[in-house]
Structure 1
Amino acid sequence: MSDNGYFHGEHGLADKWYPYQKSIKVPLIVHDPRLSENRRNIINDEFILNIDIAPSILASTGLTVPQRMQGVDFSDLYLEEKPVDWRKDFFYEHPYVTNEERIPSSEALVTHSEKYILWPHYDFEEFFDLVKDPFEVSNAINDRSSVRNVESMKKRFLELKENAK
């Protein structure tokens, strides 16, 4: 398990800290003794966040997950035979400016098909269609065809950002 990916020149960047897929989409491998033989080696593309790890471990041991704890037990995603209703998006933030010229703060709303990014320090926005542009090369924030999607993403972004406080 890891909490971040790492850039090796993609987007002209190095290190971590950025809201692009290369840095935030990280594989997770789970070994759970409760898993039946026919459910092993399944691949799931649902969004599991680092805040989901602790509740999942607690639940797997039979302990109660405290109400104040963020995150959700994700074990149903691999234990259940039927599809589970799961999160469709998530709010990403890297609020710390470590160096304004190197690693500025960033925030994003990520869905399976789109991403809205805000660089608050620069008041700069990006929008990517992750289906058409999986490498996040073409910023479509000003594309006429993206206006509705961008507005919808911004609204949801603000909702999730408020909930993250």
Structure 2
Amino acid sequence: YEMVVDYCETLLGVDESIGSVMEYLKKEGLDESTLIIYMGDNGFSWGEHGLIDKRHFYEESVKVPLLVRCPELFEGGKVPQQMVQNIDIGPTVLAEAGVKQPENMPGVSFIPILTGNTEMASRKEIFYEYYWEYDFPMTPTVFGMRTDQYKYMKYQGIWDRNELYDLQNDPEEMYNLIADPDKQEIAKSMSSAIYDWLEETNGMNIPLKRTVKYRFGDFKHQQEH
């Protein structure tokens, strides 16, 4: 309970700060023509799927709050369904500032999605990778892929079932279809696509992180020397 109260009080502080910025823009006559992008960290789990924290690939965690406002460019009140990633923020800002996007910068501007430009192709899939961390042992190494309809999660280093969900018919991801005979081709193709993506992005090697924690004997030995 106390954590929920603290969380809500923190959000109130954020709301007040954003309100101050919006008030200034309106006062200076800049609110209609200023592109405002408001986003948060990935979602924190409060017991969904029996989990806490925010590192897994379920919808509650992988989705990031994203609100965009610029009345001069597009009307408000829309809730586009196309997939947008955080790597698209930079290209969006550069495009509206009239600056050419560097060739080595990933992502694309999502302004066409907001303006309803159907000529621009929308993203067909997103990929996800998370490597197990010493300080957060509750989440294993996991690779994932999400389309508009399906999500596939592939685990590495643990003896557990992979997961496949039909997001259109099961948005809360309650029914794992990985063993469904009718979904084997989908699971196979998505697993293959994940490996293809990892190979293309030099992601086939799992990184190791040097820890600073010592066993008692090791610490004592270092203290003596």
When normalised by structure 1's length, the TM-score is 0.88
Higher helix share: 2
2:104 to 68, 72, 78: 68
Distance 1:5 1:100 in 2: 16
Instruction: Report what 2:80 is aligned to.
Output: 44
1:3 to 41, 47, 52: 41
Instruction: Report what 1:113 is aligned to.
Output: 149
Does 2:195 match 1:158? yes
CA contact (8 A) 1:35 1:79 kept: yes
CA contact (8 A) 2:131 2:142 kept: yes
Q: Whose radius of gyration is greater, 1 or 2?
A: 2
Does 2:47 match 1:20? no
Instruction: Report what 1:127 is aligned to.
Output: 164
Unaligned runs of 5+ in 2: 1-38, 203-225
CA contact (8 A) 1:8 1:14 kept: yes
Residues 34 and 95 of structure 1: CA distance in aligned 2, closer, same or farther (over 3 Å): farther
Please give the secondary structure, in 2, of the residue aligned with 1:30.
Answer: strand
Give 1:123 deviation, angstroms. 5.5
CA contact (8 A) 2:41 2:65 kept: no
Instruction: Report what 1:104 is aligned to.
Output: 140
Residues 29 and 83 of structure 1: CA distance in aligned 2, closer, same or farther (over 3 Å): farther
Higher relative contact order (CA 8 A, sep 6+): 1
Distance 1:33 1:164 in 2: 38
When normalised by structure 2's length, the TM-score is 0.66
Q: Paired residues, what number?
A: 163
